[in-house]
Amino acid sequence: MTQRSEFEKVVYDGGFRTLLTQEAIKDRIREMGRQITEDYRGRQPIMIGVLNGAFLFMADLIRHVEIDLEVDFIKISSYGNAKVSSGIVRMLKDINADVKGRHILLVEDIVDTGGSIKFLHEKFMALEPASLRFVTLLIKPANVETDIPIDYVGFSIANEFVVGYGLDYKQILRNLPAVYVMD
Ligand code: IMP
Ligand code: MG
């Protein structure tokens, strides 16, 4: 008999607890899109997704932002394969756009310690944008160690390791359509 995949364990065996349903995520993203639309009307922001985790969220979010906007991506790594943040952030892929004088929205999947956004804040402020704001689907307020403001937050969650909807464990489970707690 073949071994069950991690995906099957979550989806079919009820192995993990559902934290956010597809419906809940969809409703919240629609609201966030509406808010960003209002706040940026008359401007043309550049939304920069932080790979890999934010790709799904960003794809869904921009379809609810009803103004002209550009997209780009940056890839950073802070975790390696562990469940706890290493605290060391490395840039694996830079953006291509020139962002000087632009309105930047950085789109994250989750803010945990805040190490990643601290790194991104420093990097992008040095490029002299017209403005810089952060968007995240999830935040773990109990863990955050930085006072950089996060302007758009989807959901505040407890200090638990979550997977799905872009978020991985050892690079898999990003394709789960909802967010699950991995106990
Ligand atoms: P931070 O730098 O500690 O804020 O960590 C941010 C990054 O760690 C996120 O962009 C995720 O890639 C990853 N991360 C933090 N918490 C989780 C989690 O619960 N599940 C999956 N990835 C996580
Ligand atoms: Mg990430």
User: Within 13 Å and on the Cβ side, how many CA atoms surround 104?
Assistant: 27
Report residue 65 CA to chain centroid gap.
16
pLDDT > 70 fraction of the chain, expressed in percent and rounded: 95
pLDDT category at 3 given cuts 50, 70, 90 is confident
Average pLDDT score over the chain: 93
Whether residue 170 lies inside any domain: the answer is: no
Using the CB atoms, write b or e for 12-30: b if 16+ within 10 Å: eeeebeebbeeeebeeebe
Query: Hey, whose CA ends up nearest to atom 11 of ligand 1?
Result: 110
What's 102's domain CATH number?
Answer: 3.40.50.2020
Verify whether ligand 1 is closer than 6 Å to residue 55 (CB atom). no
Whether residue 54 lies inside any domain: the answer is: yes
Check residue 85 and give its pLDDT: 65
Q: Is-contact 79 52, C-beta < 8 A?
A: no
Whether residue 171 lies inside any domain: the answer is: no
Q: Retrieve residue 139's tokens.
A: 């935040």
Q: How far, in Å, CA of 103 to CA of 168, rounded?
A: 29
Count of beta carbons in the 10 Å neighbourhood of residue 73: 19
Verify whether ligand 1 is closer than 6 Å to residue 19 (CB atom). no
- pLDDT for residue 150 is more than 60: yes
Q: What is the pLDDT of residues 105-133, one digit of tens each?
A: 999 999 999 999 999 999 999 999 999 99
Active site amino acids = 112
DSSP-derived secondary structure for 25-74: HHHHHHHHHHHHHHHHTTS--EEEEEETTTHHHHHHHHTT--S--EEEEE
Nearest Cα residue to 181 out of 4, 21, 1, 2: 21
Encoded amino acid at 168, one letter: D
Q: How far is the CA of 110 from the centre of ligand 2 (A)?
A: 6
Q: How far, in Å, CA of 23 to CA of 38, rounded?
A: 23
Check residue 23 and give its pLDDT: 98
Q: What is the pLDDT of residues 62-102, one digit of tens each?
A: 999 999 999 999 999 875 556 666 678 999 999 998 999 99
Verify whether ligand 1 is closer than 6 Å to residue 78 (CB atom). yes
Whether residue 75 lies inside any domain: the answer is: yes
- Please report where in the chains the tokens 């989807």 appear, as a residue: 154
Whether residue 174 lies inside any domain: the answer is: no
User: Structural domain of residue 104, as residue ranges?
Assistant: 22-81+88-160
Verify whether ligand 1 is closer than 6 Å to residue 165 (CB atom). no
Q: How far is the CA of 95 from the centre of ligand 1 (A)?
A: 20
Q: What value does the mean pLDDT take over residues 15-23?
A: 92
Query: Hey, whose CA ends up nearest to atom 12 of ligand 1?
Result: 53
Whether residue 1 lies inside any domain: the answer is: no
Whether residue 106 lies inside any domain: the answer is: yes
Q: How far, in Å, CA of 69 to CA of 1, rounded?
A: 50
For the chain, the domain total comes to 1
Q: What value does the mean pLDDT take over residues 161-171?
A: 95
Whether residue 29 lies inside any domain: the answer is: yes
